[in-house]
Amino acid sequence: MYSYYFKLALLSLRKTPLLSLLMVIMIAIGIGATMTTYTVSYMMSQDPIPNKSANLYQVQLDSLDYEFADGDTLPITISYQDVQALLKSDIPKNHVALSAIQEEIRHINNKDIEPRSLEVRSTTSDFFNMFEVPFLFGAGWSEQDGKDAAQVAVLSKETNTWLFNGENSVGKTFYFGKDTYRVIGVLDDWNPLPKFYALQNEAFKKPNGIFIPFNTQIQNELLTLKLMNNYCWKEPDDQSFASLLVSECMWVVFWVELSNKKSHDEYQTFIDNHAKEQQSLGRFPRRIFNKLLPLKQYLIVEEIISDDSKLAVWLAALFLLVCLLNCMSLMIAKFDAKSGEIGLRRAVGASQQDIVKQFAIELSVIGFVGGLLGLLLAKLGLIAAANTYHYLHSGLMQMNTQLTLGTVLLAVISSLVFGLYPIIKASYMQPSSQLKSL
Amino acid sequence: MLKMKSLSKAFVTDAIKTQALHPFDLTIEQGEFVSIIGPSGSGKTTFLNIAGLLEEHSDGLYELDEQNVAQFTDKKKSAYRNEKIGFVFQSFNLIPELNLYDNVDMPLRYRKFNRDERHKRIMQALEQVGLAGRKSHYPTQLSGGQQQRVAIARAIAGTPSVILADEPTGNLDSKMAEGIMSLLKDINAAGTSIIMVTHDNEQAAQANRIVQIKDGHLSEYTHNKKAIA
Amino acid sequence: MRDFLPIVKTFKKKKTTPILLAFQIAVTFMVLVNAIYMISERNDLIASPVGVDIKNTLTVITNLSDEHGDLINQLEDDLLALKNIHGVINAAPMTALPLEGWGAYIEFKLVPDEEYVAFGGYFGSNEDVIDALGLTLVAGENFSPSDIQTAERDGIYKPAKILITRALAEKISPDNWRDILGKNIYFYKEPHEVIGIIERLQNAWSSWSAVEYTVISSVRESNHSQRYIVRVEPDQMDYVIKAIPEALLTHAYKRIETIEPLSEVKKRSYQEDLATNQLLTSVCIGLTIITLFGILGQAKFTINRRIKHIGTRRALGASKSQVVRYFMLENAIISTIGVVIGILTAIILNNQFVELLAITPVPLNFLLFGAIAIVLLGQIAVAYPVSQAAKVSPAITTRGA
C-alpha cells in the first residue's frame, strides 16, 4: 500500500510542479539556514575528547589575597611555583602544564622557505598521552627530555608540510628563534574542538603548529605576554624572568587526568595540603579553596559557546518557522486543489486514514527532497560561514554524519508537523461536496 | 438490501434550516434498477449521497444489508462504499494523471487484494466496458462516452451490490448515452442493483422502478411507466 | 473603506490561510525588527571613535634583539628611523595597541588598599604619544621628556605620571572631571599622578564596558616584541608602509612582525561583530524574500479561488481599481494583524528574549518604523497578482458551471 501512496505522491508532484517546487524550496531554505547555524553552534558545544572528558580536570588554586570574581570563580591559570609543586605528585595518571609563546621558525638552510612567526605551545611530556594526540612520525619528548629542557619540538602535520615538505622529519633540525631545535615527532591531523586545553579565547582558533617542552621555555626565558593569561595580582620583585617564576603571577594552565573517584579525592587532598603548606609559608592568604574543575564544566563556566552563535540558531529557527508557515499555506492550497480527487477517493472507499496516509507520504517526499536540497544549501552556507568566520577553526563549519542525517530527518518531520493540519483538514472534507463539479 | 424509513435530511446554515429531503420510506431489493427523476435542486443528489454513505441523514433509519448505517464509523462506511457500492458521476471524475488501468485500480487499492486479484478484476471490468485494449491510455485521450465507460469499469471492478449513478449520461450526446444505458442494463442484468438519477424521462423509463423527487418530497411510480414517458 | 466589513466576513469563512499569513508576518516582523536593530547597534559600536587619527595611523610590531646589544638603544634607533621616513609626523613606542584585544587591565584606586573606583586599560608610552596617535589633550599637559621612565617589561608597576581619558576622569570624579588633575591614582599600590586628560582613547578590548577608560603611563617599555605607533601625513600611508622595512631592517637579527594601518587592527577587533552583522543581514534578506513569496503566493491562491467572485463583482459594475483596492485592503488588514501580533509578542516575550539571547530590547520607534515597513512590503508584494486579477473578464461568471 505504501508503495502505491509513494507512486501517487510522485504523480502529484509532477502534476503541480511549480507548487511542489516552491514547497521544496521553502523547506530547503529554512532547513539550510537552520542547519548552517546549528552546525556551527553544535560543533562548538561538542565534547572535544569524549573518551576522556570525564577524567580531565583543570586545576584552579585560590592563591589570591582578595576575591577574584563573583562567587567561587577562580583564574584558569596558576603560578609557576605551584606548577612545580603539583608536577611532583604521582597521583594523577597524567598531568600537564601549558603555556604559549610566539617564535620565528626558519628552515635550517633553505632560504626559499619564508620564515614564519608561529604560536608555539609549550607543555610537559604527558600532554600527548593525556590528550590522545595522534602521531604521524616519531613521538613526544620523554619525561627526561622535558626535565633537561631539551631543545626538541613536535610539529603539526601542517608545519611539517611547510618546513619539510611533509617528509618524515624526525631528527632534522630547524631554527627556533636564534636556537636550533630538533624535530622529535610529527603529529597526524589533530584538531580537537573546542581547543579546550588552552586559553578561552583560543577555543575555536586554528590549531597550534608546534610544541616544545615547558622547561625549555623556562630555561630559555621565552615569554610572549600577548599569548599568556598572566594574572599578576601581586607585582613581582623586579622585571627579571627569575622573579616572574617565584612571583604570585598566575600564568600557567594546568590539567590533570584522574581515572577514578579515589584518585580524584586523593588529588584534591594533595592540592589542599599543598595550599596549607604554602599558607604556613605566607602564601594563600585568603582561604584554602582549590578546584578540580571537570572539563565539561570548564567549557560551560568559561562560556566557550558565544552568544552570537546561539542567537544565530534562534534567528535561523524563526526563519525556518516562517518558511514552514509559508509551506503550510502552500500545502493548504495544494490540498484544496486536490479536493476533487479526495472526494472521489473517499467515494470509492478510501477512509479518512487512507487519505491521511496518502498525503503524509506525499509531504514526506516533499520534505525529504527539501531536506536533501537543504543539506546542499547548508553545506554551501557552511562554506560561506567559513568565509565569514575565517578566523575560526574550520572544523566548526563541517557537518558530521549525525548532523547530515538529522538535517534530512528534521526536514521530513517538520514538513509533517506543519502538514498535519492541512492533511487532517483535507481528510475531513465532505466528500459529496466535491463530486458534482469536478 | 437498502431500506430507508422516515428518512429525512435538513441543512442548517446561518440559522436558516433547509429541508432538503422530507421524511420518506423506500426499500430497494437486490437486482432492482431504480430511476430517480425530478427537477434540478429537488434533492436527487442529496438522496444519492445519503444512499452512498457520502452524507449523513438527519433523521430516520437507513439500513444497508440490514445494518444500521447510523452506527457506522468512518472506516466502516469507507469499507462499505468500497465493497458494496459503486459510483458513476455525471462528470466521470477520472484522475487525469492516471491511465485507465490505474483509474480502475483505484478502489481496489483500498481493499486487501493481492496484485493478481487486482489485475484480474481490472481486466475483467475493462473488458466488460470494451476498453481492455486501451488500458494504458490516459482519460484525456478518450471521448466522453469512453471516459464514462472507464468510470463504470471502476465502479464494477470491486463487484459492488449496488451502483449509484448520478446523471451518468448528462454530459454525453444521445448516441453515447445509449451505449452507456445499455451497459448499465447489462450490469443490472448480471444482478447488480442500480440507482440512477436522471433528467431524461426516456432513460428513466428503462428502469423497473421510478422514484420522483420534487421539492424534497419523494413519491414513487410503481406502475404505468408510460404515463411518464 | 466600505470593503472593510465584507473582507472581515470572508476571513471568518476561510480563516486558515489569512491566519497563517498573519502569523508569518508576525514572526518576520519580530525577527526583522530585532535583527535590524542589532545590526544598527553593532554598526554604532563599530563606528564608535577610537579617539585617534585612525586614518593616518599605522602600527609596527618588530623585535628588539638581545644579540644586538642594548634594547633601549635599539628602541631609540627604531624610533629615530621611523621619524626620519618622509611623510611621518611622529612615532612612539606603545606597550599594546588600541583594540588589539590584548593588553593590561588595571583597577584604579584613590587610596591604596581601599576599594577600586574604576577599572580600565593601560598603555605605556613616551612624550610623543599624543602626537603619534593624534590624541586631543583637553586639560592639563603632555609628558615632558624628563617624565619618561624606561622598563624592560612590567612598567605597569612603576609610579609615574599619567594621562587619562576624559571618560575615566568623569567616572572617577563625576562632579567635575577636571578635579582629577594633579591628583594621584593608585594601581598596584603605586601612585600615579594625573597630569593631563585626553578627549578619548579606546583601550585593548572593543567589547569591554571599560573600553573608554584608558590610562597612558609615562613608562616606555623595551619589549622583545616591540610595538610602535606611527602617524603619517594624509595620503602618505602606503608610501610609509613600503618605506618602513628598509628603515628598520638594519641588522641581521632585525625582524618585522607586522606593519599595518591601525584601521586593520580595529577591523580585526570587530571581526566577530562584522561577521554577525553579515549573518544577520543575510537572515533579513532571506526572510524578506521568503515572506514576499508567501504574500505573493497567498494572494495568487486566494485570487484563483475567488476568480468567479471577482468576475461577479466586475459584472455587477465594480471597476478594476475597486477590485484592486479590495485585495490591497485585504492584504493590509492581514499584515496589520500580523504586525500587531508581532508587537504584542515582542512586548510579552521581550524580557525572556533579552535574557535568553543577551540582546537589548528594541526601542519603540524601531517597532513603529518596522510595522509601517512590513505593511508597505505586503502592499508591494500583493500589487502584481492583484493587478492581474483585476483583468478578469466579467464574462467569467456567465461561462460554464
CB contact under 8 A, A438 and B78: no
Q: How confident is the model at residue A371 (pLDDT cuts 50, 70, 90)?
A: very high
Return the C-alpha cell found at A12. 502529484
DSSP readout, C288-306?
HHHHHHHHHHHHHHHHHHT
Statement: residue B228 has pLDDT above 50:
no
Among the three residues C203, C224, C253, which one is the final residue of a domain in this structure? C253
Which of C218, C253, C288 is the C-terminal boundary of a domain?
C253
The CA distance from A271 to B54, in Å, is 82
Helix axes C262-269, C271-305, angle to 10 degrees: 50
Lowest mean pLDDT among A30-39, A132-141, A310-319: A310-319
Position C387 in a domain = yes
The grid coordinates listed for C305 are 479561488
CATH of residue B160's domain is: 3.40.50.300
Nearest-neighbour CA in chain A from B31: distance (Å): 21
B55, B90, B110 member nearest A349 (Cβ) = B110
User: Which residue of A29, A224, A318 is in closest CB contact with C31?
Assistant: A318
Same domain, C192 and C238: yes
Note the pTM of the prediction, 2 decimals.
Answer: 0.76
User: Phi then psi for A165, rounded to 5 degrees?
Assistant: 60, 20
Choose from C59, C102, C154 for mutation: most chain A CBs within 10 A: C154
Q: Which residues in chain A touch residue C35, judged by CB atoms under 8 angstroms apart?
A: 315
Residue B81 has its nearest CB partner, among A12, A14, A349, at A349
Q: Residues A118, A119, A123, CA angle at the centre, nearest 5°?
A: 130
Residue C58 domain-assigned? no
The band of A18, judged by pLDDT with boundaries at 50, 70 and 90, is confident
Q: According to the model, what pLDDT value does residue A432 have?
A: 76
Q: Of A315-329, A358-372, B119-133, B139-153, give the lowest mean pLDDT range.
A: A315-329
CA A398/CA A93 separation, integer angstroms: 33
Give the CA distances from residue C19 to residues A326, C15, C31, C341, in Å, rounded to whole numbers and listed in that order: 11, 6, 18, 11
φ/ψ region of A355 (left if φ > 0, alpha if ψ in -120 to 50, else beta) reads alpha
The number of angstroms, rounded, from the C-alpha of A206 to the middle of its chain's C-alpha atoms is: 12
Instruction: Let me know if residue C53 belongs to a domain.
Output: no
At A121, the amino acid letter reads R
Query: Are C240 and C301 part of one and the same domain?
Result: no
Q: Is the pLDDT of residue B112 over 70?
A: yes
What is the DSSP secondary-structure string of C200-242? ----S-TT-TTTT-EEEESEEE--SEEEEEEEE-TT-HHHHHH
Residue A314 sits at the chain B interface (C-beta within 8 Å): no
Residues B186, A362: Cα–Cα separation, whole Å: 39
**Per-residue pLDDT at B227:** 41
- Domain check: are C129 and C243 in the same one? yes
Q: How confident is the model at residue A268 (pLDDT cuts 50, 70, 90)?
A: very high
As a whole number of angstroms, the distance between CA A379 and CA A309 comes to 17
Asked if B97 lies within 8 A of A14 by C-beta distance, the reply is yes
Report residue C245 as a C-alpha cell.
622595512
Biggest distance spanned by C-alpha atoms of chain A: 99
Q: Which residue has the higher pLDDT, C12 or A342?
A: A342
Of residues C399 and B9, more confidence is placed in B9
Are C194 and C136 members of one domain? yes
**Residue B186 covered by a domain:** yes
pLDDT of residue B226: 44
Residues C203 and C350 both lie in one domain: no
Distance, CA of A331 to CA of A333 (rounded, Å): 5
Residues of A in contact with C257 (CB under 8 A): 117
First CA to last CA distance, chain C: 32
pLDDT of residue C274: 83
> Which DSSP helix (H) or strand (E) runs through A196?
none
* Shared-domain flag, residues C174 and C147: yes
Same domain, C102 and C214: yes
For C244, phi then psi, to 5°, come to -60, -45
Domain count, chain B: 1
**C258 occurs within a structural domain:** no
Distance from CA of C304 to the nearest CA of A (A): 10
Whether the per-residue pLDDT at A119 is higher than 70: the answer is yes
Averaged pLDDT of chain B: 89
CB-CB neighbors (< 8 A) of A319 in chain C? 31, 283, 286-287, 290
Q: What is the Rg, in whole angstroms, of the alpha carbon atoms belonging to chain A?
A: 30
Q: CA-to-CA distance for C124 and C147, rounded, in angstroms?
A: 12
Nearest CA to C39 out of C279, C265, C202 is that of C279
Q: A109 in helix, strand or coil?
A: coil
The CA R_g of chain B, rounded to the nearest whole Å, is 18
Same domain, C111 and C219: yes
Question: What is d(CA A291, CA A283) in angstroms, rounded to the nearest whole number?
Answer: 17
Q: With residue A101 as reference, give the H or E element that holds it.
A: strand A94-106
* DSSP, residue by residue, A371-429: HHHHHHHHHHHHHHHHHHTTTS-GGGG---HHHHHHHHHHHHHHHHHHHHHHHHHHHTS
Could you tell me which chains touch chain A, where touching means 3 or more CB pairs under 8 A?
B, C
Residue A136: the pLDDT is 93
* Residues of chain C under the 50 pLDDT cut: 400-401
Are A344 and A435 in contact by the 8 Å Cβ rule? The answer is: yes
Q: Is B158 on the interface with A (CB under 8 A)?
A: yes
Between residues B21 and A397, the one the model is more confident about: B21
Structural domain of residue C194, as residue ranges? 66-253
Assess if residue C264 is contained within a domain. Answer: no
Q: Which residues lie closer than 8 Å to C88 by C-beta, 6 or more apart?
A: C82, C230, C231, C232, C233, C236, C240
Q: Is residue A182 scored above 70 in pLDDT? A: yes
The 10s digit of each residue's pLDDT in B180-192 is: 999 999 999 999 9
Provide the pLDDT for residue A333: 82
Amino acid in the structure at residue B141: Q
Question: Is the pLDDT confidence value at A94 over 80?
Answer: yes
Q: Compute the average pLDDT of residues B33-47.
A: 88
Question: What per-residue confidence (pLDDT) applies to C231?
Answer: 93
Show the cell assigned to A406.
Answer: 538529522
Does C360 lie in the same domain as C283? yes
Probe site for chain B from A4, A348, A356, A429 (most B CB atoms < 10 A)? A348
Domain boundary among C198, C220, C253: C253
Selected residues 266-295 of chain C with any CB under 8 Å from a CB in chain A: 268, 271-272, 275-276, 278-280, 283, 286-287, 290-291, 293-294
Q: Check if A16 contacts B (Cβ < 8 Å).
A: no
**Would C132 be classed as within a structural domain?**
yes
Higher pLDDT, A139 or C209: A139
How far are the Cα atoms of A314, C121, C349 from residue C359, in angstroms, in the given order?
12, 25, 12
Domain residue limits at B207? 2-223
What Rg, from alpha-carbon coordinates, does chain C have? Answer: 32
The residue whose grid cell reads 484592486 is: C324
Residues C305, C244 share a domain: no
Kindly list the distances between the CA atom of residue A114 and the CA atoms of A64, A110, C65, in Å, as whole numbers in the listed order.
Answer: 44, 9, 20
Average the pLDDT over each of A93-102, A151-160, C262-271 and give the range with the smallest value: C262-271
B228 part of a folded domain: no
Predicted confidence (pLDDT) per residue in A395-429, tens digit: 777 888 888 898 899 999 999 999 999 999 889 88
**Partners of residue A59 on adjacent β-strands:** A292
- Please tell me which residue of chain A has the smallest CA distance to C106: A233
Q: Which residue of B has its CA nearest to A1?
A: B109
A336 reaches C (C-beta below 8 A): yes
pLDDT for A302? 66
Does B111 touch chain A if contact means CB atoms closer than 8 Å?
yes
Cβ of residue B55 closer than 8 Å to a chain A Cβ: yes
| Candidate from A11, A347, A437 with C-beta closest to B52 | A347
Looking at the fold, whether C89 and C177 belong to one and the same domain comes out as: yes
**Bridge partners, residue C184, by sequence:** C193
Band (A394; pLDDT cuts 50, 70, 90): confident
Q: pLDDT: is A308 or A176 the higher one?
A: A176
